[in-house]
Amino acid sequence: MTTTQPRLVVTPSANIHSDAERAARMSKLSFGRTFTDHMVVIPYRDGAWQQGEIKAYGPLSLDPSCSSLHYGQAIFEGFKAFGQPDGGVKTFRPQSNAERFNRSAKRLAMPALPPELFMQAADALITLERNWVPQNVGESLYMRPLMIATDPFLGVRPALEYLFVMFGSPAGAYFPKGVKPVTVWISEDFVRAAPGGTGEAKCAGNYAASLVAQAQAEQKGCDQVVWLDAVQREYVEEMGGMNLFFVYQQDGKTTLVTPELTGTLLPGITRDSLLQLGRDLGYGTVERKLSVKEWRDDIAAGRMTEVFACGTAAVITPVGFVKANGFELTINNGENGPVTMALREALLAIQHGTAPDAHGWMHAV
Ligand code: PLP
Ligand code: COI
């Protein structure tokens, strides 16, 4: 790996979207459908990251034999940029994404990208795309960094050449119905990740392998799939692209319980932030194993009062209904719960700059 920082050349192109097209797209944002005018590309070859470029957003040219297309040597990240009240732009914990990106890279035998280069690329791209950063609460410019293996070779071994790419997508609510409780299906037929596998890496294959279970959840009338541990098929791990929290109310005390990091679930940056924010709000926080039986029993006994999912794209989404082979449960009458919404507001206020950033999470672009 190179020790000197390669240069990032900015080649602004004519914008792909006219001002009117951009305004039209920004006025009705969903998730992941609109892409801004430029992207970052940085190649890796001869054992080093080469000069990168910010250029017009558009298709990549790949050799059909490259191993990302065959053997899945591909990783990605997701973080957000928020318009601030003073007209500036800040990103939420991008350094944590840069670090997780490199942990994923290591697991997939890919080269590390210097975190400073990740940050420099993000800041330069967001600065160029300032007009694509929404201002409304709940909206943001979602940034998608990724790395793929690119060298033409069919043998199974770590590639020698890679491409780092980063692009932006202005985003509104992840779920089409907005901030309303989702319904979840507990998967018994499929597992997401086994011990020693790639569960804690943000690699493309994890998502490909989840799609059939997600389709099954939809067949069962649910929005999302919940994964159980691969060994005992008993403990709750996470959702499709989100971590899970369970809210307990006992003896006047509120406690947030979230599955502990076992190596088979993604260590979410939102999860980590909410453990901190929960403590700030005076809640207890516990990271531990939580079984499906406890989920059933504790809802029935009224000890568990709310369940929610969290992630960069989804922010915080209440879970209102859970279904599995043999049982169905409604949580908090299928409504948004007060603890869920308090955490959501606290997180969004920090991100949008209307509450103090006590933990130094916001990075000025
Ligand atoms: N779990 C999975 C499988 C994910 O894809 C994501 C999304 O990034 C998360 C959890 C939440 O992680 P974060 O809060 O860092 O976005
Ligand atoms: C994110 O929240 O950033 C993700 O990558 C999750 C994905 C399912 C959209």
Contacts of residues 125-129 at CB distance under 8 Å and 24 or more positions apart, as own/partner, are: 125/38, 125/39, 125/40, 125/54, 125/166, 125/167, 125/168, 126/81, 126/89, 126/91, 126/168, 126/365, 127/89, 127/365, 128/10, 128/12, 128/38, 128/54, 129/36, 129/37, 129/38, 129/168
Nearest CA to ligand 2 atom 7: 241
Cβ count within 10 A of residue 90: 22
Which ligand lies nearest the alpha carbon of 244?
Answer: 1
The answer to whether position 81 is within a domain reads yes
pLDDT of residue 2: 45
The distance from CA 152 to its chain's CA centroid, rounded to whole angstroms, is 30
Name the residue of 100, 175, 242 whose CB sits within 8 Å of the most ligand 1 atoms, as the mutation to test its pocket.
242
Residue 73, domain extent: 8-171
CA distances from 310 to 29, 109, 207, 247 (A): 20, 28, 17, 13
**pLDDT higher than threshold 60 for residue 197:** yes
pLDDT, tens only, 53-84: 999 999 999 999 999 999 999 999 999 999 99
CA angle 102, 108, 111 (to 5 degrees): 50
Which ligand 2 atom sits closest to the C-alpha of 313?
2
Tokens of 355: 């509450």
Q: How many domains does the chain have?
A: 2
The answer to whether position 292 is within a domain reads yes
CA distances from 265 to 108, 112, 119, 321 (A): 16, 21, 25, 22
Ligand 1 centroid distance, CA of 191 (Å)? 17
Instruction: Choose one of 171, 193, 222: the last residue of a domain.
Output: 171
Nearest CA to ligand 1 atom 10: 242
**242 and 167 belong to one structural domain:** no
Crossing angle for the helix pair 94-107 and 115-128, to the nearest 10 degrees = 130
5 pLDDT band, cuts 50/70/90, is low
Beta bridge partners of 163: 43, 148
Average pLDDT over residues 4-9: 75
**pLDDT higher than threshold 50 for residue 275:** yes
Say how far apart CA 277 and CA 342 lie, in whole Å: 10
Instruction: Choose one of 118, 146, 171: the last residue of a domain.
Output: 171
CB 337 near ligand 1, within 6 Å = no
pLDDT of residue 14: 78
Ligand 1 centroid distance, CA of 154 (Å)? 31
**242 and 214 belong to one structural domain:** yes
* Whole-number percent of the chain with pLDDT over 70: 98
**129 and 270 belong to one structural domain:** no
Quick one: which of 108, 121, 85, 110 has its CA closest to 5? 121
Ligand 2 centroid distance, CA of 81 (Å)? 15
**55 and 139 belong to one structural domain:** yes
Q: Taking all residues of the chain, what is their mean pLDDT, rounded to a whole number?
A: 95
CB 96 near ligand 1, within 6 Å = no
Q: What pTM does this model have?
A: 0.96
Ligand 1 centroid distance, CA of 210 (Å)? 13
Say how far apart CA 323 and CA 220 lie, in whole Å: 8
Q: CATH number for the domain including 332? A: 3.20.10.10
pLDDT of residue 4: 59
pLDDT, tens only, 329-347: 999 999 999 999 999 999 9
**pLDDT higher than threshold 80 for residue 109:** yes
pLDDT of residue 15: 84
Asked if 50 and 161 touch (Cβ cutoff 8 Å), the reply is: no
Average pLDDT over residues 316-327: 94
Buried b (16+ CB within 10 A) or exposed e, 305-318: bbbbbbbbbbbbbb
Say how far apart CA 271 and CA 243 lie, in whole Å: 6
Instruction: Choose one of 114, 139, 171: the last residue of a domain.
Output: 171
Q: CATH number for the domain including 22? A: 3.30.470.10
**pLDDT higher than threshold 90 for residue 3:** no
Which ligand 2 atom sits closest to the C-alpha of 240?
8
Ligand 2 centroid distance, CA of 3 (Å)? 31
The distance from CA 60 to its chain's CA centroid, rounded to whole angstroms, is 23
Name the residue of 312, 348, 361 whose CB sits within 8 Å of the most ligand 1 atoms, as the mutation to test its pocket.
312
pLDDT of residue 1: 47
The answer to whether position 2 is within a domain reads no
**313 and 240 belong to one structural domain:** yes
**131 and 25 belong to one structural domain:** yes
What is the phi/psi pair of residue 213, to 5°? -70, -40
Say how far apart CA 324 and CA 184 lie, in whole Å: 9
**pLDDT higher than threshold 90 for residue 178:** no
Q: What is the ipTM of this complex?
A: 0.99
CA distances from 206 to 77, 251, 261, 291, 310 (A): 13, 40, 17, 23, 18
**pLDDT higher than threshold 50 for residue 37:** yes
Name the residue of 166, 175, 312 whose CB sits within 8 Å of the most ligand 2 atoms, as the mutation to test its pocket.
312
CB 266 near ligand 1, within 6 Å = yes
pLDDT of residue 179: 85
Ligand 2 centroid distance, CA of 200 (Å)? 14
Q: Which of 3-17, 166-180, 228-242 is predicted with the least confidence, judged by mean pLDDT?
A: 3-17
CB 290 near ligand 1, within 6 Å = no
The helix/strand/coil state of 60 is coil
Say how far apart CA 327 and CA 331 lie, in whole Å: 13
**pLDDT higher than threshold 90 for residue 101:** yes
pLDDT of residue 175: 83
The helix/strand/coil state of 279 is helix
